[in-house]
Structure 1
C-alpha cells in the first residue's frame, strides 16, 4: 500500500523544500561575490579620491604672537605633526581640532593665535599624509590618528578646567568615528560644516552620482553617531555652504538627542573657520561656549 505523505503542524500535507538547481545556486553565489568585490573596489577608489592632502608651508602661531610648541608623535608606523598653544592660564579650557580636507597646521595658525588671545589652549594635528605627517590617509589610518592625537592632547593639557573637541568638515567624520572611544571623554563637542554621512557627502561633492551611492559602504555615518551622542553638541553651518549643503547641518541638529545648539550663518563660505576674512565671525559663538560651557539658544529653526 502507498505510504501517506507527511503532514505539517496544521494537518496538511507538507511540501518538499524547494532547492535551487546546483548550477543556478553557483551562479547566484558568484554574482554576490562579484558584487561584494565591486563594492569594495568602488569604496577604495572613492577613498583615494576623497582625501586632498597639502604640504605645510611653515606658518606658525608663534609668528602671530602666540607661543607654540611643535610636536611629533607616532601613529602606527607613521609620524604625525601637531601644534600646541598653551593659554596664559594653565587651567584654561582646551580645544583639540580635527581639521578639514585640503588643510594643514599652517591653515590653523591664525585660529590658534585667536584662541590664545581669547584665553583658550588649542591642539591641532595633521592626519597621515597631510602637511608634514607621513603615511597615506585611509579611513583606518585616520581612525588610529584621531585616537593617538587625542591622547597627546590630554597629556599636553593636564590642568585644563575643561576639554573640548572640534571636527570641521572632513574632521566631523573623523571625530565622530572615535568620539565614543576617547578617554577621558571631553565635556563637549563642536561640529563645523559637518556632513550627515560619508555617502551623502560623496554625492554632494560630486565624487559619485546619486544613483550609485547605495553601493558605497558608509564608514562615517555622522547622523547615526550624533543620534547616540550623550555630551553637549554645538553645530555650526552656513546656509550658502557650497561644499557641504546646509541641509546636512540641519539633519544633524534634528537627530541629536543630547543638549545641542545649531548656529546658522547666513553668508559664510565653507572654509570660514580658517579664512582670514571670516574666521572672527565663525569663532564668535564658539569662544563664549568654550569659556562658559553654556551652549546658548539655537539660532535656527529645526
Structure 2
C-alpha cells in the first residue's frame, strides 16, 4: 500500500462528486476529448489511489477513466451500504455525462462487479466489463472463508448470475487463472449466464488484486481492444500500439 500511495500520479486530477447528501472522492483522467471512458467501481478495501497505475496505462492506450471511492471509503463521506454503493456509481455516471462523454463503459473489479450489474439497467452504457468478479455475493463470501450458514444470513444482493439475465448490454468477463480468491470456474459460470451478449477472456498468472497492484498490458490491453470492438461507433477508434 505504501508503494501504491507513493506512486500516485494524478493529484491534480482529483475531484469531488455529489451523491445524495454525500461527497465522493474521485480521480478523473482524460485521454482526449473524444476518447471512450471507463467508469471504474473498485473492489473491497481499495482506494482510488491504488488505481493510479491502471489509469496511467489506460490513458497511454487512449482510454479516459474515472474511479471513485464509495461512500465511507477513503475520503468519501457517509457510510458503506449496498444502496449507497449503487447510488454512488450512478452519480459518477452522471458526472461523466455532464463532462460530455458519449462512450461510457462500466468496469467492475471484484466487489465492484456486483455494483455495476446492479446499476446497468438504470443507465445507458456501451458495455460492461467484469474483472476478477464473482457469481453471487453469497458465493463470494463463501470463497473468502465465511461459514456457509453465515452466507445465508446475508441479504441476497448483488446476485450477478441473476442480474445478467436482466440486461442486454454487451458484457466482457476477464479473469486470471491465478486468482486464489475467486476461482476461474466462477468466471466461466458468469460468462455462461451472459449468453450471446458475453465474451470471456482468461489471462494467466495474476493473483486476485494483481491487475490493480501490478498493472500490465497483458491484462488491460485485451480489455481496451474489446471496448473498441463492442459497437460500430467505437470501431473507428484508433488504439495506440505497444512497443
Q: Please provide the CA RMSD for this pair.
A: 2.1
Deviation at 1:96, TM superposition (A): 0.6
Q: 1:86 aligns with which of 30, 55, 67?
A: 30
SS in 1 for 2:189: helix
In 2, are the aligned partners of 1:104 and 1:126 still within 8 Å (CA)?
yes
**Cα distance in 2 between the residues matched to 1:225 and 1:293:** 20
For the residue of structure 1 that corresponds to 2:212, the secondary structure is coil
The answer to whether the Cα contact below 8 Å between 2:37 and 2:101 also exists between their aligned partners in 1 is no
2:173, 2:187 within 8 Å by CA — same for their partners in 1? yes
Instruction: Name 2:49's counterpart in structure 1.
Output: 106
Using the TM superposition, give the Cα deviation of residue 77 of structure 1 relative to its aligned residue in structure 2, in angstroms: 2.6
How far apart, in 2, do the equivalents of 1:272 and 1:236 lie? 13
Aligned partners of 1:120 and 1:266: how far apart in 2?
23
TM-score (norm 1): 0.71
- 1:4-57 Cα distance to aligned partner (Å, 9 max, x none): xxxxxxxxxxxxxxxxxxxxxxxxxxxxxxxxxxxxxxxxxxxxxxxxxxxx94
Unaligned runs of 5+ in 2: 232-243
Cα offsets for 1:136-177 (capped at 9, x unmatched) = 211121121111111112222x154x2211000000011111
Q: How does 1:170-181 map to 2 (within 5 A)?
A: 170-181=111-122
Deviation, 1:214, is: 3.1
1:160-179 correspondence to structure 2 within 5 Å: 160=102, 162-179=103-120
Equivalent residues of 1:173, 1:220 under 8 A apart: yes
Higher relative contact order (CA 8 A, sep 6+): 2
C-alpha deviation, 1:269, in angstroms = 0.7
Match of 1:115 in 2: 58
CA–CA separation in structure 1 for the residues paired with 2:38 and 2:79: 26
Q: For residues 141 and 158 of structure 2, what CA distance do their matches in structure 1 show?
A: 11
In the TM superposition, residue 134 of structure 1 has moved relative to its aligned partner by 1.4
Of 135-144 and 68-77, more deviation after overlay is shown by: 68-77
Tell which structure's C-alpha radius of gyration is larger.
1
> Which residue of the other structure, out of 204, 209, 215, is the alignment partner of 2:143?
204
Whole-Å Cα distance in 1 between the matches of residues 50 and 67 of structure 2? 10
Tell me which moved more, 110-119 or 279-288: 279-288
Trace 1:114-153 onto structure 2 (pairs within 5 A).
114-153=57-96
Q: Secondary structure at the match of 1:284?
A: helix
Number of residue pairs matched by the alignment: 229
* Alignment correspondent of 2:224: 287
Say if 1:58 and 1:79 are closer, same or farther in 2 by CA, change over 3 A. farther
Per the normalisation by structure 2, the TM-score is 0.87
1:233 aligns with: 171
The 1:212/1:82 distance shift into structure 2, 3 A limit, reads: closer
Contact 1:190 1:235 (C-alpha < 8 Å) held by counterparts: yes
Q: Do the aligned partners of residues 205 and 100 (structure 1) sit closer, same or farther apart at CA in structure 2, a change above 3 Å counting?
A: same
